[in-house]
Every structure is written in C-alpha cells, then in structure tokens.
Amino acid sequence: MSGTEFIPVNEPWITEREIEYVLEAVRSTFISSEGKFIREFEERFSSFCGRKYGVAVNNGTNALVLAMRSLELEEGTEVILPTFTIISCALAVIYNGLVPVFVDSEPETYNMDPEKIEEKITERTKAILMVHTYGHPCEVDKILEIAEKYNLYVIEDFAEAIGSEYKGRKCGSFGIISCTSFYANKLITTGEGGMCLTDDEKLAKKMIRLRNLAFIPEKRFLHYELGFNFRMTNVQAGIGLAQLENVSERIEKKIKIARKYSKMLKELEDKGILKLPTEKNYVKNTYWMYGIVMKNGVKSDIIMKKLEERGIQTRPFFYPLHLQPAFRKFHWFREEKLEVAEFLSEFGFYLPSGLTLNDEKIEKICKTFYEVIDEIENKKAIQSKDN
C-alpha cells in the first residue's frame, strides 16, 4: 500500500521503556492511584518545569477544574481567558460557578492578545487563565503585569507548551497554579492524564485532598469539603515517567519537524498564499502542532478535505468559545465580534505533527499539499478568466 499510506494527524511515540514500567506497575498489583510511580512522576515533572509541587490528576480538563476550585473564588466571579482555545478552559470556569470572559487573539501567535485584556476587567474579575497555543508561549510578562495591577490570580494552561520557554523560563512555572494535560497528543502522554503545579505548599495540599474526595488523614470517611475523584493511576504514571526520560529528544524532534515543514512550505508563504507558525525572538516554541493559516481566501475546510482524500489527516483550528452553541443559554455575552479568532477558525488548520513523523513522511505531506494548492490556484485562475 505504499504511496497510499495514511498519515494520521498525531501518533504517540512509545518506546520499550513505557512497556517496561507498565508491566512493572501491573506486576506489582499497584494498578490504582496507590504506588510509587505517582509520586515519582509528580516530582520529576514538577522539577522539569521548575516548580516545587506536582499534583497528578486523571486528565487536563480536571486539572483546570481542580486548580480553579482550590482558589475558592466566590460564585459569579469573572475569569478572563482566550476565546481561541479548547472548551476545557471555559468548562473549568463554569463548573466552578464562575463566569468566563473571552479575549481575542494576537494574529501572529494566536495567543490571547494582551492589549485586549484590560478592557474586559470589571470589579468582579478575580483571575486570568493564560493559555499557550500550539507550543508558542503567550505574552507572560504583560499578563502578569496586568494581573498585578488589578490584583488578579493567574492560572496557566501549558498543555500545548510542555518544554516551551518564555524569556528563558519554562512554561508551567508561571502564575499561582499551572495546569497541563497528558492526553495522547501532548508532548508527554499518559494516555489520559494531567497535572497541577504550584510553589504554594498549602495549595498543593489542598489540591491533593480535593482530587481524592477530600479524605483527610486524621479520620477516614470524614469530609469537610466537597472533593472529586480526579486520581491518576500508577500504570499511567509509569507511562509518564518513561516519557519524561527522553523529554529533550521529544522537544528536539518537534522543533526539527517544524523546521522541515517551514523550509519546505516557505515558498507558499512568500507568495502570500498562507502563513506559517512563528517564534518571537524571546521565546522557545516547541511547535506542539504545526498550524497554518490560509491567506488566499480559501477556507481551511476545503484544503483539509482534499488532503484527507489523499491520505493526510489534519485538524481544524479551534472554534471560538464566544460562539459556542453550548454557551448560548447563558446570558454572559454582550454581542461581540472577536475578529481575529473568528478568522483563524475559518482559515486555520494543522498538519500532522506527531513525534513518529520522519523526513520521508513530511516530504510526502508537503508534496501533496503543493498539489492541492496548485489545483486550487489553477481553478481560481480559470474562473477569473471565465468571468
């Protein structure tokens, strides 16, 4: 079947080490959330990110729910977050009885535009959720400065930026609590999983308690708080530990994949047909996903369909949260247009970006992409002649 081989948008990179640790966990009979891999994974991952404490949970969405809950914000409090991100970010706000307030994106990096935050702050605002998009760190200093000025908490979501750096500091080290996901398409995966990081011992202890039904050590089955079961299993932590052992190689691979794509597709950018990912000079982008934005007026749906027909799987960019039908019944939103995010969602998509890609596959993807673009541009040329 060579030549028609299907290339998925992502494929996790699993080595023998993961298998070894999974077997070890299973053989030990510690297959629940008890067992030595959990603490070890929490310690290694938090120190990799430059944080004191790590609290492993069962997925990234719940990491955000837990972080938000641990701050004990009053019901109805407003939380500022980007509109261009995954719905998990807004759900974590809503599930805690809080109100999401959405901010538009920067056209360059697709991250929350720091210039558009202050206009959204009211006396009910108590927190900002900063999210790094597709591997490119957001404007951390500007966001922290605004948060300080208005006395707001900052929670960081670095699920897409494990290993990325902002001015020499690792993502996952900013704000009061940082949350990540270890879903199968993330740089480090445990299949399903997530973690909250903090330097605050009290918050760490609170999150450890809340993730485990708010049991207390002093008296079993006595509860003072409403907790959750957000526990990660020892088997998952074993996978995560194995993944951490070659994390530098993972990061290098991602960067190498992006460089190769950019080199091969630069011609299309030079011709004004599309925009490739960027990297501001004071950040390290780990290119979680290799995102492209069409500039030739052709919607990403059309390109994606043509690529799929030729065996290349892609994904559209996020659908803006302020337009989500699921949120319409709430009365939070003033009629607003967040133009950049709306544009991105119509014209953006990402190419296969998994760690199992090699030069040969990337070359095949780019060759196919050029064919698709040629077909579209030729059709446009014919149409304009006909008119």
Enumerate binding residues for ligand PLP (CB under 6 A): 59-61, 85-86, 88-89, 131, 157, 159-160, 181, 183, 194
Residue pair 157/132 in contact (Cβ under 8 Å)? The answer is yes
If the CB atoms of residues 61 and 234 are measured against ligand PLP, the closer one turns out to be 61
How many CB atoms neighbour CB 43 within 10 A?
13
How many CA atoms are closer than 13 Å to the CA of 91, on its beta-carbon side? 12
Q: Give min distance, CB of 102 to ligand PLP, in A.
A: 15
Cα–Cα dist 288/59, whole Å = 18
Q: Give min distance, CB of 296 to ligand PLP, in A.
A: 28
Give the tokens for residue 30.
């510690």
Give the tokens for residue 90.
């807004």
Give the residue ranges of DSSP H helices in the chain: 16-27, 36-49, 60-70, 87-94, 140-150, 201-211, 234-245, 247-270, 300-309, 339-347, 359-386
If the CB atoms of residues 65 and 73 are measured against ligand PLP, the closer one turns out to be 65
If the CB atoms of residues 131 and 176 are measured against ligand PLP, the closer one turns out to be 131
- In DSSP notation, 108-173 reads TT-SB-GGGTGGG--TTEEEEEEE-BTTB---HHHHHHHHHHHT-EEEEE-TT-TT-EETTEETTS
If the CB atoms of residues 157 and 279 are measured against ligand PLP, the closer one turns out to be 157
Q: Give min distance, CB of 179 to ligand PLP, in A.
A: 7
Compute CA distances 104 → 30, 33, 78, 153, 171, whole Å: 46, 39, 16, 20, 21
How many CB atoms neighbour CB 44 within 10 A?
17
Q: What is the H or E stretch that residue 271 is in?
A: none
How many CA atoms are closer than 13 Å to the CA of 64, on its beta-carbon side? 27
Q: Give min distance, CB of 220 to ligand PLP, in A.
A: 30
Helix (H, G, I), strand (E, B) or coil at 308: helix
Q: Give min distance, CB of 67 to ligand PLP, in A.
A: 11
Q: Name 157's Cβ contacts closer than 8 Å, sequence gap at least 6.
A: 60, 64, 85, 89, 129, 130, 131, 132, 178, 179, 180
Q: Give min distance, CB of 181 to ligand PLP, in A.
A: 3
If the CB atoms of residues 156 and 279 are measured against ligand PLP, the closer one turns out to be 156
Q: Give min distance, CB of 239 to ligand PLP, in A.
A: 14
Give the tokens for residue 231.
């526990």
Q: Give min distance, CB of 56 to ligand PLP, in A.
A: 12
If the CB atoms of residues 89 and 204 are measured against ligand PLP, the closer one turns out to be 89
If the CB atoms of residues 85 and 178 are measured against ligand PLP, the closer one turns out to be 85
Cα–Cα dist 56/39, whole Å = 8
If the CB atoms of residues 215 and 319 are measured against ligand PLP, the closer one turns out to be 319
If the CB atoms of residues 71 and 171 are measured against ligand PLP, the closer one turns out to be 171
Closest residue to bound ligand PLP by CB: 60
Q: Give min distance, CB of 123 to ligand PLP, in A.
A: 28
Sign of the CA dihedral running 32, 33, 34, 39: positive
If the CB atoms of residues 114 and 194 are measured against ligand PLP, the closer one turns out to be 194
Compute CA distances 339 → 101, 107, 108, 203, 344, whole Å: 15, 10, 14, 37, 9
Q: Give min distance, CB of 341 to ligand PLP, in A.
A: 14
